[in-house]
A and B are shown apart, each in its own frame.
Chain A
Amino acid sequence: MSIFVYTENINGSYKKAAFEAVSYAKAVADQSGTDVVAVSINPADSAENLYKYGASKVISLKSEALKNFNAKAYAEALSSVVDGVVVLPHSTEASSIAPMLAVTKNAALITNAVASPESVSPFQVKRKAFSGKAFMLAEAAGNQVIITVSQNSFGVKENQISGTEETKEVSFSADGITVVSQEKTSGKLDLKEAEIVVSAGRGMKGPENWGMVEDLANTLGAATACSKPVSDIGWRPHSEHVGQTGKAIAPNLYVAVGISGAIQHLAGVNSSKTIVVINNDAEAPFFKSADYGVVGDAFQIIPALTEKIKALKGH
């Protein structure tokens, strides 16, 4: 049986998380000696974008009624075409779909997988647990397995294949939810997808000082994040709060400025591949969990660092 993968798109364009999920599904398929079938809802992008990561078939489910996100209807639509092992990203939307799919298919659900399976029969995979403080090797009973991949943990891996495309019209049953209004922070990098994140804490003293944090982020092509107290006081929006009670992220590079490195903060960011800490207190606990550190005043270091990175990029 093929490995199925849900390829999420935003306004028709595939998300990076979709490419990562296909890459993951391809690894599972190789282990299982089978192929990958990608399933999308109302994509506008070309299926070629998915063949590139190893999907040999792309099923596009079309429905005007599924234009807005709707977990239940999306789960229902997916459930009509998938069977066996199904891979989804652990994104905001897909992590609502996956549990519903698991109920419908009476399947084992393993969320937040961080690596390809250790075994496919029985299905055993390492997942994040205890809010980034540990890993758990989970085992699924049976061969109906729904798995969500922790974003940025497996990575996007090219694996060009030639594939075929199929389009299906689907119907859907209303779930009683009506969208009243939407507020999209357009142009901003999605925090969970970002390769680089610049994050700042109470050491920045006040919201008026975030300009330099944003400059550094823009120069690096990074998303911005913050510690919990910073969003509690209202210096930054809740959506930027990372940590045990906020978002868990795993970028390639996490730059922490004026953040002390409390255990609850670390829990959400310690999966980052490289961590740089900038703090004027040499005793700040964060230095123990960092790869690179600079002890000094953020107000001087940040603008200077931004200039140096601009110079590097200019070359």
Chain B
Amino acid sequence: MKILVCISSVPDTTSKINFTADKSAFDKTGIQWVINPLDEFALTKAVKLQESQGASVTIVTVGDAGAEAVMRKALAIGANDAVRINTEPKDSLTVAKEIAKVAQEGGYDLILCGKESLDYNGGAVPAMLAQLLNQPFINASVGLEVNGSEATVVREIEGGKETVSVKLPAVIAGQKGLVEEKDLIIPNMRGIMTARTKTLTVKEPSETDVKVKAVSFDSVPARAQVKLVSADNLDELVRLLHEEAKVI
């Protein structure tokens, strides 16, 4: 079985997000990059399938050379090889089209993604990819088992969960639950060393039809000073919520 895991490289979750002086772009100064946390669940699941089913795991990232440190980390976690499409991601559709090309060339049985990238928050690439490849798509997955050419997936739906079975190849986007937090793999020295020698192929992009562009960015305005209410005076809290905030 061949698995493709789509990895996006995002600012570390503790990062303060700043913009350039003219607000037109994200200011990358001093940012630590990490594997998009939701993709890490997908990657770990793929590595588990590699162990249990002898699958091979390829990762793909659409990004400039700056993304390679994060890709090496994914290789250290256990992916076999990597493909980088050498371009700064522009919009979801161009990213999905670039990945679709890699997917078609490689003929993968299973494509795993995160549900959403924590920088752009498009939540769009996986579904677009499925549509471009004309493969079944399962979003918001919180459980996955593979049996031969079929997968059983647990997904979140409005108001609950459902278990579905799907014929492979398919695109599955997931989050925590694909594996548990405690199952995430911290690369060891050997992993890090071998990752350096694994193949990382760089391909040039071909998509130019950008549909969405960022005009400007704004930080979220800070809240006014908190109003503290004494624990002995909860009547006052109730009054404030009722009369001032008008939320109860």
Task: List residues of A whose CB falls within 8 A of some B CB.
Answer: 8, 10, 15, 69, 71-72, 75, 90-93, 95-100, 102-104, 107-112, 124, 126, 128-142, 175-186, 188, 190, 195-196, 220, 231-232, 238-239, 241, 244-246, 252-253, 263-264, 267, 270-271, 273-277, 287-297, 300-301, 304-305, 308-309, 312
Q: Once the chains bind, are B181 and A109 in contact (CB under 8 Å)?
A: no
Instruction: Among B136, B138, B166, B212, point to the contact of A110 (Cβ < 8 A).
Output: B212
**Quick check: B234 and A109 within 8 Å, CB to CB?**
no
Q: How far is the CB of A290 from chain B (nearest CB, A)?
A: 5
User: In chain A, what residue has the closest Cβ to B167?
Assistant: A176
Give which listed residue, A69, A140, A271, contacts B212 with CB less than 8 A: A140
B229 A129 Cβ-Cβ under 8 A: no
A238, chain B: closest CB distance, angstroms:
5
Q: How far is the CA of A244 from the CA of B11 in the complex (A)?
A: 12
Looking at the assembled complex, report how far the CB atom of B164 sits from the nearest CB atom of chain A, in whole angstroms.
Answer: 5
Question: In chain A, what residue has the closest Cβ to B135?
Answer: A176
Residues of B that sit less than 8 Å from A by CB = 11, 13-14, 16-17, 19, 26, 37-38, 91-93, 96, 118-128, 130-132, 136-140, 142, 152, 156-167, 170, 175-177, 180-182, 210-220, 223-224, 226-231, 234-235, 237-238, 240-242, 245, 247-248
Chain B residues contacting A109 (CB-CB under 8 Å) are: 91-93, 122, 124, 128, 211-212
CB neighbours (8 Å) of B11 from chain A are: 130
B139 touching A133, Cβ below 8 Å? no
**What residues of A have a CB within 8 angstroms of the CB of B217 in the complex?**
129, 134-137
Question: Which listed residue (A134, A253, A290) contacts B220, Cβ 8 A?
Answer: A134
Q: Contact: A183 with B211, CB < 8 Å?
A: no
When chains A and B are docked, how far (Å) is the Cα of A133 from the Cα of B120? 11
A176 to B161, CA, bound (A): 19
Given contacts A103-B132, A293-B228, contact A10 B159 (CB under 8 A): yes
Bound complex: CA A269 to CA B161 (Å): 23
With A108-B211, A177-B166, A292-B227 in contact, is A95–B234 under 8 Å at CB?
A: no
Shortest distance from the beta carbon of B159 to any chain A beta carbon, whole Å: 5
Taking a contact as CB atoms under 8 Å apart, the answer to whether A108 and B212 are in contact is yes
Show 10 residue pairs from A and B whose CB-CB distance is below 8 angstroms, ordered by the A residue: A10-B158, A92-B156, A100-B130, A134-B217, A135-B219, A176-B136, A274-B245, A276-B237, A297-B231, A305-B237
Nearest to A119 among chain B residues (CB) is B215
Q: Which of A232, A276, A309 contacts B182 (CB 8 A)?
A: A232
A134 touches B237 (CB 8 A): no
Q: Would you call A139 and B212 a contact (CB within 8 A)? A: yes
Minimum Cβ distance to chain A for residue B45 (Å)? 15
- Cβ A253 vs Cβ B245 within 8 A: yes
Known contacts A245-B37, A312-B248, A289 near B223 by CB under 8 Å: yes
Indicate if the CB atoms of B238 and A312 lie closer than 8 Å. yes
Which residues of the other chain, A, contact B124 by a CB distance below 8 angstroms? 98-99, 102, 109, 111
Which B residues lie within 8 Å of A95 (CB)? 123, 139
Contact status B123-A245, CB under 8 Å: no
**B247 and A274 within 8 A (CB):** yes
Given contact pairs A99-B128, A100-B128, A244 touches B13 in the complex (Cβ within 8 A) = yes
The one of B122, B136, B176 that contacts A245, using a Cβ cutoff of 8 Å: B176
Max count, chain B CB within 10 A of own CB: residue among A93, A104, A133: A133
Q: Are A196 and B247 in contact (CB under 8 A)?
A: yes
Question: Given the complex of chains A and B, what is the CA–CA distance between A296 and B237 in angstroms?
Answer: 13
Cα A183 to Cα B175 with chains together (Å) = 19
Task: Give complex CA distance A179, B140 in Å.
Answer: 15
Partner of B13, one of A264, A270, A295: A264
Chain B residues within 8 Å of A128, by CB: 121
CA distance A277 to B131 in the complex (A): 43
Extra A-B contacts (18), CB below 8 Å, given A136-B218, A139-B213: A72-B130, A96-B127, A98-B127, A99-B92, A126-B218, A130-B11, A133-B16, A134-B218, A135-B218, A139-B215, A176-B166, A239-B156, A244-B37, A271-B220, A274-B247, A291-B223, A295-B231, A305-B237
A100 touches B14 (CB 8 A): no
Taking CB atoms, residues of chain B closer than 8 Å to A93 are 157-158
Contacts of A253 in B (CB 8 A): 241, 245, 247-248
Complex Cα distance, B231 from A304, in Å, reads 10
Q: A112-B121, A176-B166 are in contact. Are A293 and B13 (CB under 8 A)?
A: no
How many Å lie between the Cα of A91 and that of B157 in the bound state?
9
**Once the chains bind, are A293 and B241 in contact (CB under 8 Å)?**
no
